[in-house]
A = this chain, B = another copy of it.
């Protein structure tokens, strides 16, 4: 069943319109009629395709992320070889750089909460898989905190690192950002500040 070409075209117009408008005036301030007007589409037509603004946003994001997923290394997102910092994967930061205007807005007061947590949870799931993979790769290793806790913390770092980068005017290169973040993740703030902490022998007591 080949989709009507007009339908595809209209959808693309709406998506482009939304993306442009997010940059222009922030997500929350956009009205459906802004989108349709700029797409040169009748307002009721919008509702033929999407329930609301959010559905259009997430449909657009899905497209964008499918594209991104191709770029990323299939596995090993989490474990990097700290001895070869130049090989640390920076495709996420490059992606962000490519859509800097978009993310600058979406990670500000003018963004969308749904977006924030949707992305957070999506990434956390990916991270968790990686973490579990990394841990189980080596036998006799016992994680000291729940993997999903760790995943959420790392995602929080990642997103806030990006937000800081954008607010800071993107003065660092994607590669630098990836490196800083990777080291920080793996070695912690102790390493980051240069302050030396003795490794304690603490393990979280079980909650169950």
A95-127 contacts to B, CB under 8 A, are: 107-114, 116-118, 120
Do A156 and B149 touch across chains, with their CB atoms under 8 A apart?
A: no
From known contacts A145-B184, A153-B181, infer whether A176 and B204 are also in contact, taking CB-CB under 8 Å. yes
The one of B154, B161, B183, B208 that contacts A152, using a Cβ cutoff of 8 Å: B161
B contact residues around A179 at 8 Å (CB): 202, 204
Residues of chain B contacted by A180 (CB below 8 angstroms): 145, 149, 204
A69 within 8 A of B: no
- Residues of chain B with a CB closer than 8 A to A82's CB: 197-198, 200, 202
Closest to A208 in B: B171
Across-interface contacts of A48 in B (CB, < 8 A): none
Stretch at the interface among A4-12, A59-67, A186-194: A186-194
Q: Interface residues of A toward B: which range?
A: 35 or more
Q: Provide the residues of chain B in CB contact with A143, threshold 8 Å.
A: 192-194
Given contacts A193-B135, A194-B142, contact A164 B149 (CB under 8 A): yes
Complex contacts, A185 vs chain B, CB 8 Å: 188-189
- Does any Cβ of B come within 8 Å of A131's Cβ? yes
Closest B residue, CB atoms, query A181? B153
Q: Mark A147-181, 1 if CB is under 8 A from B, else 0.
A: 01110111111111101110010011000100111
Decide if A207 is an interface residue (CB 8 Å cutoff): yes
Is A75 in the interface zone, CB < 8 Å from B? Answer: no
Contact A202 B188 (CB under 8 A): no
A70 on the interface (CB 8 Å rule)? no
Cβ contacts A68-83/B at 8 Å (1 or 0 each): 0000000000110011
Show 9 A/B contacts (Cβ-Cβ < 8 Å), sorted by A: A83-B198, A85-B202, A108-B113, A111-B113, A149-B165, A149-B168, A153-B184, A154-B157, A171-B208
